[in-house]
Structure 1
């Protein structure tokens, strides 16, 4: 692995795991010393991460992890609630027992990730679970819009479950309920409503987390 790739992977992983939180200043010289390289590959890595929307670089402040735009994040999650609900309802009648088996397997893997506290693993499995459903959705334009929205969320923060680890357990129960509904051929309207609420609950949890953080920051400034 090249020094530039090492720097890129190191910074990116720390951002996604929450080690480098929103607004964290990445000091190029310090990281270069830590990795045993010159500043050049670290700067190149930062340029890549800037292009991905994870780092913002300004002349005076240097490289910082992008802050989360609360309103935009909630708006994208709320939009996904509508899109994913409809896509799941369209896919459900086209899913056979063979299609349901991977969903149950993902649920078991997600359970293990929750127990291990591995939220990045849980996030990847969560994405794979929904992708398996959308593979049976006949409206490919709708699926493309969902994928675009996912990419937009990724550019702001890769895993909501890193920020809200407590949400993962509730999310897992939602997944089991969704699979049950698909398996028993529940009405499309019921499936759509449950999936929509599943995503909206995440949006509400994020908004609550963000507001608590804002209050804590205000209190710290008053001290």
Structure 2
């Protein structure tokens, strides 16, 4: 296998492992066994080992003494900092999109919001998460700043993996979510100023983050109380680091 082929396989393995983390199939603290992953991915151990190094550089994998590679533990303060940064980036991306946004884009976002409502009513939270993601991403699809969009999309991919590492695709906040989405669409239709739109998105995202962290701490406490699996090295509550 050439070096170029190995690099390509490593990126494929990285993306596959990241998807498993985001979906909750690989959870925080879980050991990553290279031989097992190689069998599952139908690859040799070499690109899988490189994929794990790439995930370590992204902060999704850590190495522990006498344990080896494992999915990074969930740290609320780090998650809060990550989401705070992403809310700033998303607010800026949509604000820069405001002069260019089309009614077709707003209609598509409203379509996703309607399906989000249906998924929440049916308690299909993985589906709801997908529609919420689509709603937000379509709003900055026409952003002229390509570098900002790339940075933002990479950040959301990492955030999804960090979140999924502990809880999978479970609800963080339901109350007020779709109503705030609709209010944002109305702001865009009424041509509110970019500054107003940016401030609203940042506040919306920050409410989501705080609600999710409350949910996360309760879920970890419930898991500990029932004797369920916990991330390696965790106490009864998430570490604040």
Tell me, yes or no, whether TM beats 0.5: yes
Matched with 2:21 is: 15
Matched with 1:117 is: 124
2:61 to 42, 55, 63: 55
Provide Cα deviations, 1:37-67, integer angstroms capped at 9, x if missing partner: 7xx7467435424413433345620231122
Matched with 1:92 is: 98
Q: How far apart, in 2, do the equivalents of 1:133 and 1:150 lie?
A: 13
2:188 to 167, 182, 186: 182
| Alignment check: 8 A CA contact 1:8 1:48 kept | yes
Q: Aligned Cα RMSD in Å? A: 3.8
| Alignment check: 8 A CA contact 2:109 2:138 kept | yes
Matched with 1:76 is: 82
TM-score by length of 2: 0.65
Q: How far apart, in 1, do the equivalents of 2:236 and 2:202 lie?
A: 35
Q: How far apart, in 2, do the equivalents of 1:36 and 1:80 lie?
A: 31
Structure 1 unaligned residues grouped into runs of 5+? none
Aligned pair 1:155/2:158, yes or no?
A: yes
Which of the pair has the greater relative contact order for Cα pairs under 8 Å at 6+ separation? 2
Q: How far apart, in 1, do the equivalents of 2:124 and 2:31 lie?
A: 27
By percentage of residues, which structure has more helix? Answer: 1
Q: How far apart, in 2, do the equivalents of 1:98 and 1:175 lie?
A: 16
Q: How far apart, in 2, do the equivalents of 1:110 and 1:9 lie?
A: 26
Structure 2 unaligned residues grouped into runs of 5+? 1-8, 225-233
Is 106-115 or 192-201 further displaced after alignment? 106-115
Report the alpha carbon displacement of residue 219 of structure 1 after superposing the two structures with TM. Answer: 4.4
Aligned pair 1:133/2:129, yes or no?
A: no
Report the alpha carbon displacement of residue 113 of structure 1 after superposing the two structures with TM. Answer: 4.2
Aligned residue pair count: 210
Q: How far apart, in 2, do the equivalents of 1:45 and 1:170 lie?
A: 42
Is 4-13 or 103-112 further displaced after alignment? 4-13
| Alignment check: 8 A CA contact 2:91 2:197 kept | yes
Matched with 2:3 is: none
